[in-house]
Structure formats: structure tokens, C-alpha cells
């Protein structure tokens, strides 16, 4: 992808550069997984359609594909009877965290049904229409057995997992919170419930698979190239290097595209069987059962405070759903370990096995759900203490990380709250709920804090420059819409002193240097650091050659003095255009690699990004209808590489929080174990009319403890605490505290009545 911006050479990091891939996307030039057609030898792809199970638990008792096979255009039908032998799925819990992402995930491996809509057959035909029609003609009968689908039921059997997501310990304990709760003058004890939520990216999961001998190429929609490469190789029992994964453009993922799903596995198997390229895409309905979800949770928060408003106890207990066949333990209480200071603390996580597909990582896993409970509880406690919600939080600001005792690399949470209060007009808020009114509308303002760990993963990048001064940046990092093409071009242009037009960024191909991919908000820091280091290594190579080569106009100068700027190399008072210099001393150009890894300061400092959300809502007195009137987020996230793409990411996360607070709930039928609202007509997400006035701003910060660029992840921070700010605003408007999300008008009306 070549940059097309007209920015002048010089400083690029920190500028609001337009997306360098923007023109391709708006003109249809960006090619997504299902659109790829560059097939070898002029072959045309076949199309696969997956048939899902009609029961949530049991076995296939009878299977007849005769009518489907007779449909014109049908090439093959795969079922558990015709499937080639695949490695076993293995135990529900993998031994180490990486294996969660790379384990074998066999499909159509037997007659057992583990969840509703589990793939039970794949029809491959010359057209998608023929495959879909034939799939409807397959006759399957099941022997159904009772399943369990309500993780929050009183009789649900809970267990303690060995670990929780991201490798955090399951439980923590500091001091004696029970004694503090018993003796404190002010306490609260509240329970908050969040439903299942669905990722619902614009681009469904899709794959085009093709083989060349024993080598497989997958054009697929994925956030992490390496995970898909390893997972598919493990499933097909072939060497990892025999799988090439290509994913230059992704239409969203939000965590649902971190592991291989049925589209990739079945497309690869079908293409091998037919010796022909095969395309498979999930329908929107299939996405709900087959592409992961945020697990439903019940969170109990207990707080105790002294007369001065200082927390003396914080207890956060989580109950969450997990699939019976594969464990996923969302780390919802982890955020309570480091956010506020408290003399005593306890956090616990318990799981309930249900007969659904597995939960998966969903934008801000753990923080998005955990902060809803914590920040609503903090709001309730502030009211009970008769303190302003911001003042209460300020009084409980810790000096060091409460969990580890480590110093903070930076922490400007209070600055975010105070700047947000100033900008938003916090003084307009009435401390007494239900007292501010405009006609038949009750107006309320709420706020909540935001926090998310700052991660970095191992990454490599290659940077090459040719004799014309054109630079190619290569890494298998992906761009799921976050602006990766743009920020990596900015980093390379600034470090090499070249215009953006000289930089070409190549991403999303397993043949390129390996990165951790897009997930966990670590993509920019990880791949950006690798590109930064590769550029520094490239500059050193060029400088050393420039002072030593006989044909160099800079021969004999001091390489340590080299400055790369304005498309030239300067050594003291001598300078040469970079392209002319390279043409003289190395007509084949130069190439260098760089890497990123966690350094010592990363391990010794507590590193997080922070923010504060402010929301204003109107609640109709007669109908209970809730309208968001305006919302502001103020964030401190290290150095900002590109304010335009960063603001876009944060606003997108804030809108996620609005959906979580007011509309989103995947309704699992407790009788039959399927999501009944499994499309975008019934699964309600915010639309343009729901978002009137929203903004995200930054507080300047340069945190050099985690990486040389001084940056922190932001892709998920905007979704941390945003739902709590809206819920708190609704309470401030009408005096109805809804703790069972989403906050819908029926719940508000019942409280108002």
C-alpha cells in the first residue's frame, strides 16, 4: 500500500495524516477476503455453504444427503462420515496461553453436537446459490439430550478456573476485606449483570483457500496472521511453513478474528479434497453462534469507606459463562486490582459451564465488563457518602499500583477527570437525581473512569530502500481499520527523513516478518517499535557505507554524526541527497530488520492507559425512552502517533459502550440454547441517529517506560467505562438505577412507576 498524502517531509509522528489506504477503500480498490480472485492457472473457485445443527446438544441420529447431491452444480458434500481424519480437539483447557490461539480446531469430526448451529455439513458447488439450495435439502435427525444454558441461574454449578484470560491469577487477596466491610461506617453491596454481546464486524468471517501441491494459501479475514497459520496447520496436521495466510484488509474483527473458525478450516479441507479453490463466508446469522461472543457475567461489588471517603475494602466477585468443551475465563475483576487504592481488596472469578459455543476476546475483554460494575458501584458509593463522584475518585487515587506495589510509568487519570469536567460542564449536574427537567424530559449527567493495561508483544519488521529513495516497510501485522498502514508509514518517514510518498507499507502476509497482529491494543506499540528499530538499523547501515565507500561524497566523515532529514543525509557541514548517495554506494539498495520485545522498564513499572467518560442523557417522563444527548472522552495514552486515526478509534470504542449500556443483548433461549435475535435487525447496535454529539480529546503524555516511541494502546480504551458513564447518567436523570444491562425503557418505566 503506497502513501498518497501530500504532507511535506520532516515531522510526521503526531500529525493528523489522512489514511494512506483511504482512497483504495472508498473507491473499492481494497480487496477483502471473499473478493480475492487472483487464482493460479485461471481456475474459478467453488463455493461452500455450511449447514448448522438444529439442536444445541445431542448426536446425529440419521443423515441423508441424496437430494442435496442431486442439485445441479453440487460438487461435494462433507459430513462427519466423509471427513478425513483430523487431530483431536483436546482438553477444554490448554496448558499454556499461546496454545489457546494455535491449537487444532477440527470440524465435522464426529456425530456429537456441542452447541446450536455447530457445523454438521458443508456443501460445495459451482455457485453459492446452488450450495445454499442444496444445504437446505439435507435431511438430518438428531437424538437430543438436555443441555444447560443459564449461567446465572441459582442452581448453576460454579467452579474456579486455573487461570483467567491473559494469564492473570484467578483470585487475589490483600488484607481482610470482610473485617473492613463489617466495621466500616459506609458500605454498599450491589450486583450487576451483563448479557452476552456479539462482535458483529461489517465483514463476516470469510476465506478463499487454494492448494499448490502440498502448500496451502488462505486469503482470509483475520486479525493475527501467525495464529491462523499455526491453527490451520495444526488442524490439518501439516507443517506450519506450508500454510501461507494473506489478509491485507479486514472489515473489523474486535477480537472475533484471533483464531481459526469454520470458514478457514473447512475451506482448506474442501479445496484439498477437490483440488480446486473454495470460498466460504459465514452468513450474518451464522456469525452469532460460530464466531464467538462476550460471555454473560454477574458481578458483585462490595465497597467500604471511612468517614472521609477513603476506601477501606473493595471486593469484586465475578460469575461468567463458559463453553463446556472449551474454557474461556474473561478477566472482569482484574481492573479492580489496580484502579483505586483500598486498604483491603479481594477479587474472584468463577465459571459456569453452558452448552454453547465458546466465548472469545471482545473489544476490551475484562475491562469493558469489569468497569461497568466497578464504576457504577463507585457512583453509588459516592452518593451514599454525599460526595461528588469525581471527588470520591480523587480521594482514592493510589500512589503506586495497589496490586503489585510497582510505580506507575505514568498516571494522569485525575487530569482526565478534571479536564473532562471542565469541558463538559460538570457543574451543570444536579447532585439530586430527577431534578433537572426540560419539558417532558429529565436530564442527567454521568461519568466514569477508564483504564486498560499497556501491552507489547514480540514483533519483527523489515525496511528496505532502493537507489531511487523509495522505501518498503514489511511486517505481517494487520490493519483491521485502525490505521496501521498510515502510522507505520509515518514512523518510517520520520525516522528516515523522507516524504510519505516515498514509503510503501506491506502488511497481512505470513511470508513477511512476524508480528503479534491486531489484538489487545498492542499492534501500534509492537509493530511500530519494530519498524522504528528497523529504520534506525537501516540508517546506521547507510551511514557506515557512506563514510567508507570510495564513491561516496561523504567519505571520511563521522558516521555517528549522520542526520537523515529532508530526503538527505547530513554529516556535520556536508550533505548529500539520500537517493543519489545510495545510487553511488549501493545500487541494489539497503535492507535492515528490527524487532520489539518487552524491556526491563516494561516489567518494573505498572503501565496503563487512562481516561474519563462524560455522558448526558434525556429520559422521557411518559415513555421512559432514553436519548444520549452528548458524550465526551478525555484520554491519556502516551504519545499520539496520529490524532485523526486515534480519535476515530476512541470514538468507536465509546459508541461500543453506548451500545452496551442501552441496546445490546444477545438473547440466549434458555430452552433451546440459541441466540434468538441472531441478525442485525434484532440485535440492536447504535446507529447514526443514536449518536448526536460525541468527542474524544487527549491529554499530552510521553511514557517512555514501555517502548521507545512512548505510545500506549488505544483501540480498546474508548470502550472501557463508557457504558458505566451512560448508566450513571440515566440514574442522575430519573433516579432509576438499572443494574441489569442494557438499560431499556421498560426497566426505567418500572422504576419510575
**Residue 444 neighbours by CB under 8 Å, 6+ apart:** 429, 433, 436, 616, 617, 619, 729, 730, 731, 732, 733, 734
Query: How far, in Å, are 46, 126, 437 from residue 73 at the CA level?
Result: 10, 5, 65
DSSP per residue, 117-185? T-EEEEEEESSHHHHHHHHTT-EEEEEE------TTSTTPPEE--S--GGG--S-EEES-HHHHHHH-S
3-state secondary structure of 462: strand
User: Topology of domain 147-198+292-403, per CATH?
Assistant: Aldehyde Oxidoreductase; domain 4 (3.30.365)
**Residue 456 neighbours by CB under 8 Å, 6+ apart:** 522, 525, 526, 529, 596, 597, 598, 602, 706, 707
- Alpha-carbon span 657 to 357, nearest angstrom: 24
Residue 496 and residue 539 in contact, taking contact as beta carbons nearer than 8 Å: yes
Return the CATH architecture of domain 457-597. 2-Layer Sandwich (3.30)
pLDDT of residue 8: 39
Q: What is the DSSP letter of 663?
A: T
Local mean pLDDT, 10-residue blocks, the chain (753 residues)? 40 96 95 83 89 98 98 98 93 92 96 98 98 98 96 94 97 98 98 98 97 98 98 98 98 97 98 97 98 98 98 98 98 98 98 97 98 98 98 98 96 98 97 97 98 96 98 98 97 97 98 96 96 98 96 93 95 95 97 95 94 98 97 97 97 98 96 94 96 96 92 96 98 98 97 88
Cell matching residue 418: 478534571
β partners of residue 298 = 193, 319
**Residue 368 neighbours by CB under 8 Å, 6+ apart:** 294, 362, 656, 657, 660, 716, 719, 720, 723
pLDDT of residue 9: 43
Q: What is the DSSP letter of 67?
A: H
User: Topology of domain 406-456+605-753, per CATH?
Assistant: Aldehyde Oxidoreductase; domain 4 (3.30.365)
3-state secondary structure of 304: strand
Closest CA to 656 of 574, 716, 594: 716
Residue 702 CA, chain-centre distance (Å), reads 24
Within 153-309, strands assigned E span 158-159, 172-174, 186-194, 206-212, 215-220, 243-246, 278-281, 297-305
- Alpha-carbon span 703 to 714, nearest angstrom: 14
* Greatest distance between any 2 Cα atoms in the chain: 89
The domain limits of the chain are: 45-146+199-290, 147-198+292-403, 406-456+605-753, 457-597
Q: What is the pLDDT of residues 679-721, one digit of tens each?
A: 999 999 999 999 989 999 999 998 989 999 999 999 999 999 9
> What backbone torsions phi and psi does residue 271 show, to the nearest 5 degrees?
-65, -35
pLDDT of residue 7: 38
Residue 515 and residue 476 in contact, taking contact as beta carbons nearer than 8 Å: yes
- Alpha-carbon span 381 to 305, nearest angstrom: 8
pLDDT of residue 40: 59
- Alpha-carbon span 521 to 596, nearest angstrom: 15
**Residue 451 neighbours by CB under 8 Å, 6+ apart:** 335, 338, 339, 367, 371, 413, 608, 609, 610, 611, 720, 721
DSSP per residue, 346-415? EEEEEEEEESSPPP---SSTTHHHHHHHHHHHHHHHHHHHT--HHHHHHHT--SS-TTT-PPBS---HHH
3-state secondary structure of 739: coil
**Residue 244 neighbours by CB under 8 Å, 6+ apart:** 215, 216, 217, 218, 229, 509, 510, 511
Sheet holding 471-474, edge to edge: 503-506, 471-474, 459-465, 590-596
Cell matching residue 479: 490493519
3-state secondary structure of 464: strand
> What backbone torsions phi and psi does residue 629 show, to the nearest 5 degrees?
-95, -40
Whole-prediction pTM: 0.96
Alpha-carbon dihedral sign for residues 7, 632, 723, 302: positive
Residues noted as catalytic = 716
Cell matching residue 76: 461435494
Check for a shared fold between 147-198+292-403 and 457-597. yes
Start-to-end Cα distance in the chain? 58
Residue 242 and residue 344 in contact, taking contact as beta carbons nearer than 8 Å: no
CATH classification for the domain delimited by 45-146+199-290, as one of 3.40.50.720, 3.40.50.1980, 3.40.630.10, 3.30.365.10: 3.30.365.10
Sheet holding 608-620, edge to edge: 437-438, 441-453, 608-620, 626-636, 694-698
CB neighbours of residue 386 within 10 Å: 10
Residue 346 and residue 359 in contact, taking contact as beta carbons nearer than 8 Å: no
pLDDT of residue 39: 62
Amino acid at each position: 500500500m503506497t502513501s498518497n498524502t501530500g504532507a511535506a517531509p520532516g515531522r510526521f509522528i503526531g500529525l493528523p495524516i489522512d489514511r494512506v489506504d483511504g482512497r483504495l477503500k472508498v473507491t473499492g480498490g481494497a480487496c477483502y477476503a471473499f473478493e480475492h480472485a487472483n487464482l493460479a492457472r485461471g481456475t474459478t473457485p467453488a463455493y461452500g455453504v455450511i449447514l448448522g445443527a438444529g439442536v444445541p446438544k445431542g448426536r446425529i441420529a440419521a443423515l441423508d444427503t441424496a437430494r442435496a447431491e442431486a442439485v445441479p452444480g453440487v460438487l461435494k458434500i462433507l459430513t462427519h462420515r466423509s471427513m478425513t481424519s483430523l487431530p483431536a480437539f483436546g482438553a477444554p483447557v490448554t496448558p499454556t496461553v499461546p496454545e489457546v490461539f494455535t491449537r487444532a480446531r477440527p470440524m465435522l469430526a464426529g456425530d456429537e453436537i456441542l452447541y446450536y448451529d455447530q457445523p454438521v455439513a458443508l456443501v460445495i458447488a459451482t455457485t453459492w446459490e446452488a450450495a445454499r439450495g442444496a444445504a437446505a435439502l439435507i435431511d438430518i435427525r438428531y437424538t437430543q439430550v438436555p443441555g444447560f444454558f443459564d449461567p446465572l441461574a441459582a442452581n448453576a454449578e460454579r467452579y474456579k478456573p486455573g487461570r483467567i484470560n491473559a494469564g492473570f491469577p484467578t483470585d487475589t487477596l490483600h488484607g481482610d476485606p470482610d473485617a473492613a466491610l463489617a466495621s466500616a461506617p459506609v458500605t454498599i453491596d450491589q450486583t450487576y449483570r451483563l448479557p452476552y454481546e456479539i462482535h458483529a464486524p461489517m465483514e463476516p468471517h470469510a476465506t478463499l483457500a487454494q492448494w499448490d501441491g502440498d502448500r496451502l494459501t488462505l486469503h482470509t479475514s483475520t486479525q493475527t496472521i501467525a495464529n491462523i497459520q499455526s491453527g490451520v496447520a495444526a488442524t490439518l496436521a501439516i507443517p506450519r511453513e506450508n500454510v501461507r495466510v494473506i489478509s491485507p484488509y479486514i472489515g473489523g474483527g474486535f477480537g472475533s478474528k484471533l483464531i481459526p473458525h469454520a470458514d478457514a478450516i473447512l475451506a482448506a479441507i474442501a479445496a484439498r479434497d477437490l483440488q480446486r479453490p473454495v470460498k466460504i463466508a459465514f452468513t450474518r446469522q451464522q456469525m452469532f453462534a460460530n464466531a464467538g461472543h462476550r460471555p454473560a457475567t454477574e458481578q458483585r461489588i462490595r465497597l467500604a469507606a471511612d468517614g472521609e471517603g477513603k476506601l477501606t475494602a473493595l471486593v469484586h466477585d465475578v460469575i461468567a459463562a463458559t463453553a463446556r468443551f472449551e474454557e474461556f475465563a474473561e478477566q472482569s475483576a482484574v481492573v479492580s486490582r489496580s484502579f483505586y487504592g483500598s486498604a483491603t481488596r479481594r477479587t474472584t472469578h468463577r465459571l459456569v459451564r453452558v452448552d454453547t459455543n465458546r466465548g472469545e476476546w471482545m473489544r476490551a475483554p475484562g475491562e469493558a465488563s469489569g468497569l461497568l460494575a466497578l464504576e457504577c458501584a463507585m457512583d453509588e458509593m459516592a452518593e451514599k457518602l454525599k460526595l461528588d463522584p469525581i471527588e470520591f475518585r480523587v480521594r482514592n487515587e493510589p500512589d503506586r499500583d495497589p496490586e503489585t506495589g510497582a510505580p506507575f510509568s505514568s498516571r494522569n487519570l485525575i487530569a482526565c477527570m478534571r479536564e473532562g469536567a471542565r469541558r463538559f460542564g460538570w457543574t451543570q449536574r444536579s447532585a439530586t437525581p430527577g431534578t433537572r427537567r426540560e419539558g417532558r424530559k429529565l436530564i442527567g449527567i454521568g461519568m466514569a473512569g477508564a483504564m486498560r493495561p499497556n501491552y507489547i508483544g514480540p514483533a519483527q519488521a523489515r525496511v528496505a530502500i532502493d537507489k531511487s529513495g523509495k522505501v518498503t516497510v514489511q511486517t505481517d501485522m494487520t490493519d483491521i481499520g485502525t490505521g496501521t498502514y498510515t502510522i507505520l508509514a509515518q514512523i518510517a518517514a520520520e525516522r528516515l527523513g523522507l516524504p510519505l510518498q516515498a514509503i510503501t507499507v506491506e502488511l497481512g502476509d505470513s511470508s513477511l516478518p512476524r508480528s503479534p497482529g491486531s489484538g489487545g491494543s498492542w499492534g501500534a506499540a509492537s509493530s511500530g517499535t519494530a519498524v522504528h528499530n528497523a529504520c534506525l538499523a537501516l540508517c546506521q547501515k547507510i551511514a557506515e557505507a557512506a563514510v567508507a565507500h570510495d564513491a561516496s561524497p561523504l567519505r571520511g566523515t563521522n558516521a555517528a554524526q549522520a542526520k537523515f532529514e529532508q530526503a538527505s543525509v547530513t554529516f556535520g557541514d556536508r550533505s548529500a541527497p539520500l537517493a543519489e548517495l545510495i545510487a553511488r554506494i549501493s545500487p541494489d539498495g539497503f535492507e535492515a530488520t528490527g524487532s520489539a520485545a518487552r524491556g526491563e522498564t516494561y516489567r518494573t513499572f505498572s503501565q496503563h492507559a487512562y481516561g474519563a467518560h462524560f455522558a448526558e442523557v434525556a429520559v422521557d417522563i411518559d415513555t421512559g425512552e432514553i436519548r444520549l444527548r452528548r458524550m465526551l472522552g478525555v484520554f491519556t495514552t502516551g504519545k499520539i502517533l496520529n490524532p485523526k486515526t486515534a480519535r476515530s478509534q476512541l470514538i468507536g470504542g465509546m459508541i461500543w459502550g453506548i451500545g452496551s449500556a442501552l441496546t445490546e443483548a444477545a438473547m440466549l433461549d434458555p430452552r433451546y440454547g440459541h441466540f434468538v435475535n441472531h441478525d442485525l435487525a434484532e440485535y440492536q447496535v447504535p446507529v447514526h441517529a443514536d449518536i448526536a454529539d460525541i468527542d474524544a480529546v487527549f491529554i499530552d503524555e510521553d511514557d517512555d517506560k514501555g517502548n521507545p516511541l512512548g505510545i500506549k494502546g488505544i483501540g480498546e480504551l474508548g470502550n472501557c467505562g463508557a457504558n458505566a458513564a451512560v448508566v450513571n447518567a440515566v440514574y442522575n436523570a430519573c433516579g432509576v438505577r438499572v443494574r441489569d444491562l442494557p438499560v431499556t425503557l421498560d426497566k426505567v418505566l418500572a422504576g419510575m412507576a
